[in-house]
């Protein structure tokens, strides 16, 4: 069992390291495409310090000054949400920012010390997963005006999450126990339920139908 936990930990560490290397690459561009149901391409240009949001659905292309390494999400108000990082007055800072379709910055929130992992916009909610420590992750929920609605904490690495009505489904790999889990959070009564799915496998992505 210890061996399996060690291997799982090493794999997570490798993924984190590879991501770190990518993020700190001296190359000019990075391309992000983890955008979840939105046909958006995000192209970073580190050299000239701008990036392009290319919305393939609406054929919109806007250039923004913030660099993002954590994906892009589009909400129902046609705002593009990015997690950015960089130096602001000599302070290293990660921020949650939004731009409208004309490329004007609308919201700007300073984030905590946690490492942002993935962002999605579903219905009128912006969902942001962060890594707090090795086996502790959080999901932050914001409204489209950038107000923090909820902070949900789970044991394990958050691989993916979805929202349906007031229910949020979160796929988690518990790296200590090496089990895949599904958390279900009810926004109405703020109840978090945990369901063990399968051992030794990481639940990496999911889709829900209503049939």
Partner 1 sequence: MIGKIYITNYHLEDNQNGKLLIISKNNLSDISLLETAPYPYKIFSINNNIFIYHYQVTSGKSTLITKIDNQNFEKTEIKVPINSHLIQGNKNFYLLKLEKDSIKLEKRNAKAENIKNDIIPISSPIYIANF
Q: Which member of 66, 71, 74, 82 binds partner 1 (CB under 8 A)?
A: 71
Whose Cβ is closer to partner 1: residue 148's or residue 154's? Answer: 154
192 counts as binding partner 1 under rule CB under 8 A: no
- Tell the burial category of 55 from Cβ atoms under 10 Å away from its Cβ (0-12, 13-18, 19+): buried
Q: Which member of 76, 95, 104, 165 binds partner 1 (CB under 8 A)?
A: 165
156 counts as binding partner 1 under rule CB under 8 A: no
1 counts as binding partner 1 under rule CB under 8 A: no
**CA–CA distance, 134 with 69 (Å, rounded to integer):** 20
Across the beta sheet with 125-133, the strand order is 115-122, 125-133, 136-143, 148-155
31 counts as binding partner 1 under rule CB under 8 A: yes
Question: Of 2-10, 101-109, 126-134, 142-150, which part binds partner 1 (CB under 8 A)?
Answer: 2-10
The DSSP 8-state label assigned to residue 25 in this structure reads -
123 counts as binding partner 1 under rule CB under 8 A: no
| Residue 159 token pair | 């691989």
Which residues, listed in sequence order, are joined to residue 143 by a DSSP beta bridge? 125
**CA–CA distance, 71 with 44 (Å, rounded to integer):** 11
**CA–CA distance, 143 with 150 (Å, rounded to integer):** 10
* Residue ranges that bind partner 1, judged by CB under 8 A: 4, 7-8, 11, 19, 22-23, 25, 27-41, 43-44, 47, 54, 56-57, 69-71, 164-165, 167, 169, 171, 173, 178, 180, 182, 184, 195, 197-198, 200-211
């Amino acid at each position: 069992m210890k061996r399996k936990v060690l291997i799982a930990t090493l794999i997570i560490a490798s993924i984190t390291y590879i991501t770190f290397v990518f993020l700190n690459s001296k190359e000019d561009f990075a391309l992000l495409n983890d955008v979840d149901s939105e046909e958006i391409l995000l192209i970073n240009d580190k050299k000239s310090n701008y990036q392009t949001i290319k919305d393939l659905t609406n054929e919109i292309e806007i250039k923004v000054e913030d660099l993002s390494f954590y994906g892009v999400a589009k909400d129902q108000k046609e705002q593009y949400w990015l997690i950015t990082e960089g130096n602001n007055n000599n302070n290293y800072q990660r921020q949650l920012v939004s731009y409208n379709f004309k490329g004007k910055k609308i919201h700007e929130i300073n984030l905590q010390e946690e490492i942002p992992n993935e962002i999605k916009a579903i219905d009128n909610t912006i969902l942001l997963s962060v890594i707090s420590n090795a086996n502790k992750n959080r999901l932050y929920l914001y409204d489209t005006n950038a107000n923090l609605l909820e902070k949900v904490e789970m044991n394990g690495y958050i691989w993916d999450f979805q929202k349906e009505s007031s229910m949020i489904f979160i796929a988690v790999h518990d790296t200590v126990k090496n089990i895949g889990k599904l958390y279900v959070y009810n926004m109405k009564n703020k109840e978090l339920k945990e369901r063990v799915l399968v051992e030794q496998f990481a639940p990496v992505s999911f889709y829900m139908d209503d049939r």
